[in-house]
Amino acid sequence: MGVEPENTLRSFTAAQQAGLDVIELDLHLSKDGALVVMHDTDVDRTTDGTGPIAEKTLAELRALDAGRGERVPEFEEVLDAVRSPLQAEIKDVAAARALAEVMHRRDLAARVEVSSFHDEAVAEIARLVPGVRTALIGSRFGPDIVDRAVAAGAGTVCLNIRRVTLEVVEAARKADLRIIGWVVNTQDQLRLVRALELDGATTDYPEIKRTGRFTA
């Protein structure tokens, strides 16, 4: 998030207070198998620690400062702290399996949409949690992103707004896929979302919900 430390309870609370429709977060597995909320594979950029998430226990991750005194949150902590619908991005098949266990235990299929850059992770969560809403994310992509999404069982494609084309949008519409643009942080990008009539946009600046404008 552009206004609070990313992937922290502080940022999720701010997004909820801004009235955003969905809060996006990123999930990794700790060394001891906990689902923790962080974007990168290592802790260097967003905390005062160093090293890969996969080599640290949950307790070690929780001891880090994630910005303004915030801790690295566990996924279930976020579930308890905010009421908003969530889009949870998973980084691999192992995280899909861990997330599926939580979703079954807490009956989250209606509240949590699951996204990933990895086709196999999308397909795995769809297999493990029947009826879950899923999204395939594309950064560098061509029209084949639509066929990949359909094959993985996704209902949505999340497309890098810097690379989205009318050809891909039309192909996604024909396949009955929802289309989300990311990351939409400038007014030009917002105008493109509206011109292409996308179904939504991911942003780092929650004030868009209130003002329809971005602050750099």
User: Taking Cα atoms as reference points, which of 68, 102, 105, 67 lies closest to residue 88?
Assistant: 102
User: Taking Cα atoms as reference points, which of 127, 146, 200, 128 lies closest to residue 136?
Assistant: 146
User: Taking Cα atoms as reference points, which of 80, 76, 79, 35 lies closest to residue 53?
Assistant: 35
pLDDT at res. 214: 44
**Torsion (CA) 193, 182, 79, 48 in degrees, nearest 10:** -140
pLDDT at res. 211: 60
pTM value is 0.93
Report, as an integer, the average pLDDT of 173-197. 95
What is the C-alpha to C-alpha distance for residues 189 and 79, in angstroms, rounded to an integer?
A: 30
Q: What percent of the chain has pLDDT over 90?
A: 89
* Encoded amino acid at 126, one letter: A
Report, as an integer, the average pLDDT of 46-73. 97
Q: Is the pLDDT of residue 165 over 70?
A: yes
Report, as an integer, the average pLDDT of 185-204. 93
SS3 60: helix
* Encoded amino acid at 146, one letter: V
pLDDT at res. 215: 39
Long-range CB contact pairs, 39-46, < 8 A, 24+:
39/6, 39/7, 41/91, 43/72, 46/5, 46/6, 46/7
DSSP state of 165: -
pLDDT at res. 5: 95
Report, as an integer, the average pLDDT of 104-127. 97
What is the C-alpha to C-alpha distance for residues 17 and 185, in angstroms, rounded to an integer?
A: 19
Q: 48 to each of 38, 42, 45, 169, how far by Cα in Å? A: 13, 11, 8, 41
Name the more confident of 206 and 34: 34
Name the more confident of 161 and 207: 161
8 A C-beta contact, residue 89 and residue 115: yes
pLDDT per residue as tens digits for the range 132-161: 999 999 999 999 999 999 999 999 999 999
- How crowded is residue 101: how many other Cβ atoms within 10 Å of its Cβ? 12
Q: Is the pLDDT of residue 16 over 50?
A: yes
